[in-house]
Amino acid sequence: MALIVQKYGGSSVADAKRIRNVARRVAKAKDEGNQVVVVVSAMGDTTDNLIKLAYQVNEQPGDRELDVILSTGEIVSSTLLALALESLGCKAVSLTGAQAGIQTDSSYSRARILRVDTKRVVSELEKGNIVIVAGFQGVTQEMDITTLGRGGSDTTAVALAASLSAEICQIYTDVEGVYTADPHLIPGARKLKEIGYEEMLELASYGARVMHNRAVELGELYNVPILVASSFSDSPGTIICKEASMEVKNKARGIVYDTNVSKVTVVGVPDHPGIAAAIFEPLARANISVDTIVQNASINNITDLTFTVARNDLIKAMSIVEPVVKSVGGKQCVTDSTLAKVSIVGTGMQNTPGYAARMFRVLYEQGINIQLITTSEIRITCIISEDRVKNAVQALHQAFELEKET
Amino acid sequence: MALIVQKYGGSSVADAKRIRNVARRVAKAKDEGNQVVVVVSAMGDTTDNLIKLAYQVNEQPGDRELDVILSTGEIVSSTLLALALESLGCKAVSLTGAQAGIQTDSSYSRARILRVDTKRVVSELEKGNIVIVAGFQGVTQEMDITTLGRGGSDTTAVALAASLSAEICQIYTDVEGVYTADPHLIPGARKLKEIGYEEMLELASYGARVMHNRAVELGELYNVPILVASSFSDSPGTIICKEASMEVKNKARGIVYDTNVSKVTVVGVPDHPGIAAAIFEPLARANISVDTIVQNASINNITDLTFTVARNDLIKAMSIVEPVVKSVGGKQCVTDSTLAKVSIVGTGMQNTPGYAARMFRVLYEQGINIQLITTSEIRITCIISEDRVKNAVQALHQAFELEKET
């Protein structure tokens, strides 16, 4: 008998009808002879509505109380799914994060899971129950309720799968899997049968909105195979696992893009030790994530420094950077919010410089100017004008033959 | 420094504005130098809405899951009150029933409190926090969530007050206190300054809808003084305590009525041992509460038996009683749902037969026929026609001089 963990997102449990649909899918997995643990998110808009309520009584609600109120959203959907399963004649029991043994540190609103005490879940499975766990939440050693932040329910699911040595963690969502490119943009985009953890991490970081990185990292760490598939169809989805089969090696795997990019160029700062630290340390303290950083070669000990931030961080970033630049005698700061990142990702590109050259040539042939370049071992990213993104992704998708089945 | 427990009902925390109002009242109690524990009910319609959701996914939702989903209502209002207090600059922390140590048996939907482990509440009070506890809920030894049934939040408040040896338990609600009669019916009805536990129990059982009996019984058992007052005004309310002051002894204290009465008369059953048991045992098994029972003197070993039940129990009661009556050779069952109970209550009436005689005379003078009579040590109840209730209460209120201050 296999043990599987399933997770259903907020849109999959948005109303009673959808919850009954999810119940039928869960019941099927159980009927096929599996032990089933299900993690659910809050119904549709519940979380937003609870946040709104909190702001009505306090303009700056504290994290501890906010976590308690938000945790109720997933508790409600978990009990409703248990009830829907009971009405199908299945034995089911809902557990809160605390009851399911999800033990976290006490960083409210973005708690990290320290360990999972699986005793209760195991005992309920042994009684023949389907176990429904409220996602996104945990409990500190002092029994205080915490939430896990973005991607929290995915993280709950993978952490449970790892602790229970589940055969697979199935993430059911409103997309059908991981594609070679955004299928809304590229009609010929192909759904991948499988993809490696590292590739998925790069895809997610550079624009794919399928799953949060945290859950993928956890899956990699404990080697939990993760299926991403739709809760609204029976289409097979994509498996995220340790290593793609040998035959798909030596290939680019996907093209992603992200338009949430602002570029900041600091012009004419003295090229001496400590300048970069003086600029980037205060940004880090302000919790602003800096992405690409490029420094030009120095001429007469004067250099230019360019970096990118998310667009909604730009004003805050400038308020920090401008005084610093002034104080070190820099000339000016120039910003540009009309840019986008386009990336190709694939373990097959490792140590294969030809991929980068091919990417640059494809963009050149389209007349697309490359403003910045950044690479990892399995990713090449170019920053280009936002209005050329569709053009770039289409040309790259074709050039790297991603439409073809491997 | 005094420790007080306050409880606010659902209408007192129905929206953000009312929650902020409650926060100001709580803050005032704290500012006056008290340690404050607050118990809250769910906001207005929350409980009804959660029940509706549950029925949308399961026509016969199980008690365990229903308790979990209902418990979220009080958790939400407790965090909102904590947030509202924080925005007033008060240190506050919300606790779920489980966190507050409310340990119950596992009778879902009507759990009884077994003990209160006050460790966490005490430690939060010692840190200078106002402690907000989600009412109506507890947790079993196995860490399963339970709810306490009717009057649950009042019971939570009195149980906490008893366990913490609080100076007083203040129940804030949408009425101003306990009156000598329903003030909507009797304009001259007077709010009582204080009333004994026993008197309050009789008033509540026989028609006053101020507080649930369970909380009053608990208050009596642990000798916790209970204040009932309005959360919308600063009017002083009524204290329920061990014994009303000496000067108010030897008096009727209040008139209550209840129109939720159906009478069942079983005509012509044989008068031999076991008949009453044969009728009332199956009613008890069906969880139907039988109120007044009267058996007429037997003539030729044939007797009549009359009892009352709540109106919504009548059909079920008849479906149980009719076959039994038939099987023992009884003639017929007659029902009447046009009746009401009118009661006078007061410890002052103990061993004072004059009160009963006076009540009967007052009703006689009004031309009101008495169908049944039942008494306790501190209560006399007459069952009369429903359409004479107002008349009866007015006449009795005047005859027993309840408008006069003692």
Specify whether B395 is located in the same domain as B268: yes
Closest CA in chain A for residue B13? A57
Please give the pLDDT value at position A349: 76
8 A C-beta contact, residue B64 and residue B106 = no
Specify whether B142 is located in the same domain as B19: yes
Question: Across the strands, what pairs with A124?
Answer: none
How sure is the predictor about A78, in pLDDT bands with cuts at 50, 70 and 90?
A: very high
Specify whether B308 is located in the same domain as B170: no
Tokens 């199980």 sit at which residue?
B62
CA distance readout (Å), B292 to A190, B264, B374? 77, 10, 7
**Number of residue pairs across A and B with CB atoms under 8 Å?**
108
Determine, for residues B57 and A143 on separate chains, whether the beta-carbon distance falls below 8 Å. no
Q: Which of A58, A69, A80 sits opposite B57 (nearest CB)?
A: A80
Q: Does A120 touch chain B (CB under 8 A)?
A: yes
Give B218-230 pLDDT, tens digit per residue: 999 999 999 999 9
Closest CA in chain A for residue B79? A65
CA atoms B83, B88, B92, B95: torsion sign: negative
**Domain contains A223:** no
Specify whether B119 is located in the same domain as B268: no
Element (H, E) at B39: strand B35-40
- DSSP string of A248-317, one letter each residue: G-SS--EEEEEEEEEEEEEEEEE-STTHHHHHHHHHHHTTPPEEEEEEPPPBTTEEEEEEEE-GGGHHHH
8 A C-beta contact, residue A160 and residue A124 = no
Interface test with B, best of A45, A65, A93, A137 (most B CBs within 10 A): A65
pLDDT of B353 higher than 80: no
**B312: domain CATH number?**
3.30.2130.10
**Could you give the residue ranges of the DSSP H alpha helices within B58-94?**
63-87
Q: pTM here?
A: 0.85
**Domain contains A180:** no
- By mean pLDDT, which of A34-38, A350-354, B331-335, B384-388 is the weakest? A350-354
Please give the pLDDT value at position B163: 97
Specify whether A170 is located in the same domain as A259: no
Residue count of chain B: 406
Specify whether B16 is located in the same domain as B149: yes
The CA distance from B149 to the nearest CA of chain A, in Å, is 19
The CA distance from B226 to the nearest CA of chain A, in Å, is 29
- In this structure, the dihedral spanned by the alpha carbons of residues A250, A252, A253 and A255, taken in order and rounded to 10 degrees, is 170
8 A C-beta contact, residue A338 and residue A385 = yes
Structure tokens given for B291: 């109120």
Q: Does B84 touch chain A (CB under 8 A)?
A: yes
**Domain contains B182:** no
Residue of A127, A12, A165 lying closest to A81 (CA atoms) = A12
Q: What are phi and psi of A42, to 5 degrees?
A: -75, 155
Determine, for residues B87 and A16 on separate chains, whether the beta-carbon distance falls below 8 Å. no
Residue range A285-293: mean pLDDT, rounded:
84
Please give the pLDDT value at position A406: 57
Determine how many CB atoms are found less than 10 A away from the CB of residue B282. Answer: 15
Please give the pLDDT value at position B55: 96
Q: Which of A19, A57, A71 sits opposite B16 (nearest CB)?
A: A57
Determine, for residues A60 and B87 on separate chains, whether the beta-carbon distance falls below 8 Å. yes
**Domain contains A67:** yes
Q: Which of A57, A87, A94 sits opposite B20 (nearest CB)?
A: A57
**Domain contains A55:** yes
Residue of higher predicted confidence among B27 and B292 = B27
CA dist A293 and A375 (Å) reads 11
Please give the pLDDT value at position A350: 67
Determine, for residues B80 and A69 on separate chains, whether the beta-carbon distance falls below 8 Å. yes
How sure is the predictor about B287, in pLDDT bands with cuts at 50, 70 and 90?
A: confident
The CA distance from A71 to the nearest CA of chain B, in Å, is 9
**B153: domain CATH number?**
3.40.1160.10
Specify whether B165 is located in the same domain as B265: no
Q: Which of A23, A79, A120 sits opposite B65 (nearest CB)?
A: A79
CA distance readout (Å), B254 to A278, B61, B346? 79, 41, 7
Q: Residue A221: exposed, middle, or buried by beta-carbon count in 10 A (0-12, 13-18, 19+)?
A: exposed
**Portion of chain A with pLDDT greater than 70, in percent:** 97
Please give the pLDDT value at position B147: 97
Determine, for residues B20 and A59 on separate chains, whether the beta-carbon distance falls below 8 Å. no
Specify whether B26 is located in the same domain as B149: yes
The CA distance from A304 to the nearest CA of chain B, in Å, is 46
Please give the pLDDT value at position B336: 93
Give B332-344 pLDDT, tens digit per residue: 899 999 999 999 9
pLDDT of B119 higher than 90: yes
Give A98-132 pLDDT, tens digit per residue: 999 999 999 999 999 999 999 999 999 999 999 99
Give B16-40 pLDDT, tens digit per residue: 999 999 999 999 999 999 999 999 9
Closest CA in chain A for residue B20? A57
Please give the pLDDT value at position A240: 95
Q: Which of B144, B174, B204 is the last residue of a domain?
A: B174
How sure is the predictor about B376, in pLDDT bands with cuts at 50, 70 and 90?
A: confident
Give B35-92 pLDDT, tens digit per residue: 999 999 999 889 999 999 999 999 999 999 999 999 999 999 999 999 999 999 999 9
**Domain contains B192:** no
3-state DSSP call for residue A9? coil
Which chain A residues have a beta carbon less than 8 Å from that of B68?
75, 78-79, 94, 96
- By mean pLDDT, which of A61-65, A71-75, A310-314 is the weakest? A310-314
Specify whether B154 is located in the same domain as B289: no
Structure tokens given for B306: 């009359």
Please give the pLDDT value at position A4: 98
Please give the pLDDT value at position B285: 86
Please give the pLDDT value at position B295: 78
How sure is the predictor about B351, in pLDDT bands with cuts at 50, 70 and 90?
A: low
Q: Which of B64, B72, B78 sits opposite A75 (nearest CB)?
A: B72
What's the structural domain count of chain A? Answer: 2
pLDDT of B250 higher than 60: no
Give B190-217 pLDDT, tens digit per residue: 999 999 999 899 888 887 778 888 999 9
Determine, for residues B75 and A62 on separate chains, whether the beta-carbon distance falls below 8 Å. no
pLDDT of B244 higher than 70: no
Specify whether A28 is located in the same domain as A153: yes
Going along B66-196, which residue ranges are E strands? 92-95, 102-104, 113-116, 130-134, 137-139, 145-147, 168-173, 194-196
Burial A310-341 (b: 16+ CB within 10 A, else e): eeebbeebbebbeebbeeeebeebeebeebbb
Q: Which of B65, B79, B144 sits opposite A68 (nearest CB)?
A: B79
Determine, for residues B94 and A59 on separate chains, whether the beta-carbon distance falls below 8 Å. no
How sure is the predictor about B248, in pLDDT bands with cuts at 50, 70 and 90?
A: low
Which residues form the domain of A347? 255-399
8 A C-beta contact, residue B207 and residue B340 = no
Closest CA in chain B for residue A61? B83
Q: Which of A152, A174, A196 is the last residue of a domain?
A: A174
Give A337-389 pLDDT, tens digit per residue: 999 999 999 887 766 668 888 899 999 999 999 988 888 878 889 999 999 99
Which chain A residues have a beta carbon less than 8 Å from that of B75?
68-69, 71-72
Q: Which of A76, A83, A93 sits opposite B72 (nearest CB)?
A: A76
Please give the pLDDT value at position A351: 63
3-state DSSP call for residue B391? helix
pLDDT of B143 higher than 80: yes
Please give the pLDDT value at position A249: 58
Q: What are phi and psi of A295, to 5 degrees?
A: -120, 130
- By mean pLDDT, which of A136-145, A250-259, B297-306 is the weakest? B297-306
Pairing label, strands A379-385, A372-376 = antiparallel
Q: Which of A157, A174, A191 is the last residue of a domain?
A: A174
Determine, for residues A54 and B79 on separate chains, whether the beta-carbon distance falls below 8 Å. yes
Closest CA in chain A for residue B80? A54
**Chain A contacts in chain B segment 40-69 (CB below 8 A):** 50, 53-54, 56-62, 64-66, 68-69
Which chain B residues have a beta carbon less than 8 Å from that of A87?
57-60
Determine, for residues B83 and A143 on separate chains, whether the beta-carbon distance falls below 8 Å. no
Please give the pLDDT value at position B180: 92
Going along B324-387, which residue ranges are E strands? 332-345, 372-376, 379-385
Specify whether A286 is located in the same domain as A163: no
Determine, for residues B57 and A99 on separate chains, whether the beta-carbon distance falls below 8 Å. no
- The letter for the amino acid at B173 is T
Residue of A170, A70, A68, A162 lying closest to A116 (CA atoms) = A162
**Domain contains A199:** no
CA dist A189 and B24 (Å) reads 59
Tokens 């209760």 sit at which residue?
A120
Who contacts A110 (Cβ-Cβ below 8 Å, separation ≥6)? A147, A148, A149, A150
**Portion of chain B with pLDDT greater than 90, in percent:** 67
CA dist A118 and A198 (Å) reads 28
Please give the pLDDT value at position B217: 93
Please give the pLDDT value at position A357: 84
Q: Which of A23, A61, A80 sits opposite B69 (nearest CB)?
A: A80
Which chain B residues have a beta carbon less than 8 Å from that of A75?
68-69, 71-72
Specify whether A166 is located in the same domain as A268: no
**Domain contains B108:** yes
- By mean pLDDT, which of A166-180, A301-315, B102-116 is the weakest? A301-315
